[in-house]
Structure formats: structure tokens, C-alpha cells
Amino acid sequence: MAVGVETGAKSSLSQRDESSIVDGEIEKIQLNWTEEEERALVRKVDWHILPGLTLLYLLSFLDRSNVGNAKLEGLLVDINATDPAAYNTGLALYFLGYVLFEVPANIVLKRLNPKIWLPTITVSWGITATLQGLVRSQPGFYAARFFLGVAEAGLFPGTIFVFSMYYKRRERHWRVAIFFGGAALAGAFGGILAFAIAKMDGVGGQPGWAWIFYLEGILTTLVGLSGYYWVPGYPHDAKFLSNRDHQILIARLAADSDAADREPFRAEGVFSAFSDHLVWAYGFLFHGFAFPLYSLSLFLPTIIAGLGFASWKAQLLTVPTYSAAFAFIVLLAWLSHRSNRRAPWIVASGFLGIIGYIVILTTSTAGKRYVGTYLSVMGIYGANALLLSWPAENVSPQTKRATVTAMQIFVGDIGAIAGVLIYRPNLAQHFYRKPHLIAIGYTLFGVLAAGYLWFWMRQSNRRRDLRLSQLGTDVEAKDKVIQDSATFVNGVRQGDRHVAYRYQL
């Protein structure tokens, strides 16, 4: 079992003798390919997977966060909200639906196929997002937000799982970072779209905020329907790959991880995930960073308006903030790739976000506080772009990884629920001073979780290195240790528990 092999061959032509798992059996593949063939293959996979799935996430984030824009356009007045915290309750109910259906959605994904499941949930939330425009009561608003959360629950963890099936471990964080960048782009586009669409106020007897939901929701539904024709399935039935492309893909993945396995759903993988302390640490990591992530995305227009800007200016002023966050995500992904490290950049980004909050809290002019929002959004979005790909690089086998990617979002979004409940009207004094302080505390908690994972996985790598190094240069003895450590037990790959497995730090 080889793990962590770099992309590309070391010479112009490489000799490979790899293994892939088909229904629990080891199938030997001996294949020659050039570096250029491999690069061309990765580019082909990128073009068939990244743009479309990033668009789906952009629409997902747009449909969940445009309620912040609608709020500035009079949503709460028109639904006769009697509770001052009705907006916060509606946001919390969204995340409740999201959390409850996170793990079940990924289990369904593993049992079915992404090319059917992902378009289906996209159409479902698109219709739900559109119908929000018809809401005219507080209970109706609550119901719409809850079911929007239910419908969107499977997209992010499902897509992360798909990436783990097409890319080698060290290649994934780049793709997840670009994919997550869709959230920042959604924030940028959302401000512009909300500003433009709000001018339709009164058209067809509908308020401007309703048109925000109608038009953006219909767009999502149409894109979701088209997804049945282009969303990728599992690698073994990817129609955009030639026969040779498919062979190279399977062979290169088999040398790196379990991505080439045709592993059926196994309950053991689910139980293994729930019993692994590192899995829970990934969840707590996102828990710490989800609080500021979603409170910023859902309250940034309100926070900026609170600095003294008119609502239309607040909509537009979110655009450069999110654009800067997207650029920072790309830079951070590059730095992480060059250094082959995730943890230090997650920690550094967390501290950048904290500095931004401190600037907001300790300065007295609108301009300086606005600069603070830049630093906070860049730091928090940058950290999330890396931490959300981390489990997919470090968890094996497949059923366990599918469960873990969902568990991370499940645990993390409990932090999101806390965030949207704490940023309520009666704590808005002094530009949300108390909620911002709590956000700093949550971010520090996330930084500590990243440190815990960094320390524990580094120690584990060292212990495994020591175990193999004690055998010296005896290749046969090393091979025996690897085989005797039960690469497969009852047909299940041992994955991250194997002595030859190395965690991506």
C-alpha cells in the first residue's frame, strides 16, 4: 500500500504496478503512462468537475444567505414579525434542518450515486428557495427556512466526498478551496444582485425582497435540472473519460489511497467514524470556525449598515469584502500546497480573523471598522477553505470518509446555530460588541482544535515511521509488517489505521 505519492511521474515514462479494489478483491494493474498524460487527465477531471460543482455551491450559499439582503429590503415588516428575534430564529431553524439531515444525506449518497443525488437535492432547495418569496407570515418564514436547510444538507459533504474519489490526497485541498471559494463569490454576487433586484419592488404586486427569492431560486432550479446531464458519478462510470484515461485514473488513485475502490456501503465504516477521536476533533474544528463564518455571511450587510451606511450602500459594500476573501482563499491554497501543510495556515488564518474582530471592536470610525470586516472575512473564509478539505485527505476507507465529511458539518453547524442566535437585536449595541467577543472566543477554540489535530497526527506519523525504521534495510521484513498489520479485514480496507498510512499535516 503506497500513500501520499506525488502527482506525475519522475521520468518521462513510468512503470506502475498498482492495486485497486473491486468488490473486495485486489485487481492488479500494470500500466505505463507519461507525465503529460497524467497532467492532461487531471486537467480533464478539473474541467468536468470543478466549475459545475463550484457553481452549485455558489448557488447554495447565495440561497441561504440572501435572506440577509432581503431583511434590509423589508422582509420582517412584510411577514408581520412580532418577535424582535424572528430573523435569528429563522436562521437557526435553517441550520437545525441542515444539521439533522447532514449524516443521513451522505449515507444516502454512498448507497446511491452523486450524479443522481446532487442534482436532485439542488432542484429541491431551488424550489424551496423560490417559494420563500410567497411567505407572508412569521410561522411560514420559519417553515421555509427549516426545509431549505433540509434540502441543502447533502451538497457540501457530498461534493467533498466526490472530490476524494477523483483526486489524490495531496491534490484535494486545492479543489476544495476553489469549491469553497464559491461561498465568497456568492457573497460578492449576492450584494450586487440584491441591489439590482430590489429595484423591482412593486412589479407584479410583489415586494423587492420577494423578487430576490424568486429570481435566485428559479436560477438554482434550472441549474439543478441541467445537473442530471453533467454532474459526475463515481470514477468507474465517468463517461467523460476514455478507456485509457480511466485506467490511468484508477491506477494513480490506487497507489495513493482508497479512492479507486468500489467499496459498497459498510456499517463498520460508520461505527469506525463515530469511535475515532480525530473525527470528533475535525467536527470541533469546524464548530469553532462555523460560528464566525455564518454570522458574518448572514449579518455582514446588517453590520455594515450599522456603521452608518444606507441599506443600498451596505449591499454594495459587501462586494469588495467578499472579493478580497476569494483572492485570499486562492493565495492560502497555494501557500498550503507549496508547504505541504494545512494546520499552520488554518491557525494563521484564524488569528487574522481575530485581528479583524479586534479592529472592529477597538476603533471608532466607520472606515476603520470596515477595514476590520475585510480582515475578519478573509481570515475566517480562508481557514474554512482549508479545514473543510482536511478530513477528506486523512480519513479512509470510503464509508468512514463519507460519514466523517458529514459529521464535520453536523458538529460544525451547531456552532452556526449558536452564531445566528447570538447576533440578535438586543445584543446589537456598540456594533455587536458582545457577539463579536464571543466570535473571537469561538475562533480561538477552532485554532486550539487545529493545534490538537496537528500535534496528534504528527506524533502518530512519527510512531509509524519509528516502527518501520526499526526494521532497518530489511525490505522483506518491512513488507511483512505491512501485510501482517491487516491491510484488509473481512474485505474492509484498514485505511488510516494502517501502519503505512501517513496523515497530511
Whole-angstrom distance, CA of residue 56 vs CA of residue 472: 50
Instruction: Look at residue 477 in the predicted model and tell me its pLDDT.
Output: 61
SS3 per residue for 338-401: HHCCCHHHHHHHHHHHHHHHHHHHHCCCHHHHHHHHHHHHHHHHHHHHHHCCHHHHHCCCHHHH
Type of residue numbered 306:
G
Q: What is the pTM of this model?
A: 0.81
The reported pLDDT for the residue numbered 478 is: 56
- The fold adopted by the segment(s) 35-468 is Growth Hormone; Chain: A; (1.20.1250)
Q: Please give the backbone phi and psi of residue 262, each rounded to the nearest 5 degrees, phi first.
A: -100, 70
Instruction: Kindly list the distances between the CA atom of residue 13 and the CA atoms of 8, 20, 33, 364, in Å, as whole numbers in the listed order.
Output: 10, 21, 6, 63
Predicted local confidence at residue 132, as pLDDT: 95
Q: Which position has the grid cell 436532485?
A: 120
What does the pLDDT read at residue 476?
Answer: 62
Phi/psi of residue 218, each to 5°? -65, -40
Task: Indicate the SS3 state at residue 161.
Answer: helix
69-126 tens-digit pLDDT: 898 888 999 998 888 889 999 999 999 999 888 778 877 876 778 899 999 999 999 9
- Give the model's pLDDT for residue 483: 55
CA distance 102 to 324: 30
One-letter amino acid at 187 equals G
φ/ψ (deg, to 5) at 495: 60, -125
pLDDT at residue 473, as a whole number: 66
Find out whether 111 and 229 touch, Cβ atoms under 8 Å.
no
Q: How far, in Å, CA of 350 to CA of 180, rounded?
A: 16
- Phi, psi dihedral angles at 327 (to 5 degrees): -60, -40
Question: What sign does the dihedral 69-72-78-79 (CA atoms) show?
Answer: positive
Cα–Cα distance measured from residue 199 to residue 191, given in angstroms and rounded to the nearest whole number: 13
Contact between 251 and 18 (Cβ < 8 Å) = yes
Q: Tell me, what amino acid is at 169?
A: R
Give the span between the Cα atoms of 35 and 393, in whole angstroms: 23
Give burial (CB, 10 Å; 0-12/13-18/19+) of 131: middle
- Phi and psi, residue 22, nearest 5°: -120, 110
CB atoms within 10 A of CB 353: 28
- For 126, the grid coordinates are 431551488
Specify the pLDDT at position 218: 97
Residue ranges in the chain modelled with pLDDT below 50: 1-29, 260, 485-486, 488-492
What is the chain's Cα-based Rg?
23
Report CA-CA distances (Å) from 51 to 41, 77, 79, 167: 16, 38, 37, 15
* pLDDT value for 10: 33
The residue assigned the cell 488554518 is 346
Per-residue model confidence (pLDDT) at position 475: 58
Q: Which three cell numbers stand for residue 403?
A: 460519514
**What is the domain partition of the chain in residue ranges?**
35-468
Question: Which three three-digit cell numbers place residue 426?
Answer: 438586543
Beta bridge partners, 20, equal 27
Place of cell 495556515: 345
DSSP assignments along 405-423, one per residue: HHHHHHHHHHHHHHHHHHS
Q: What are the angstrom distances between the C-alpha of 213 and each of 59, 84, 207?
A: 12, 22, 11
Residue at 107: amino acid letter: I
Backbone angles phi, psi at 85, to 5 degrees: -100, 25
- Give the per-residue pLDDT at 400: 81
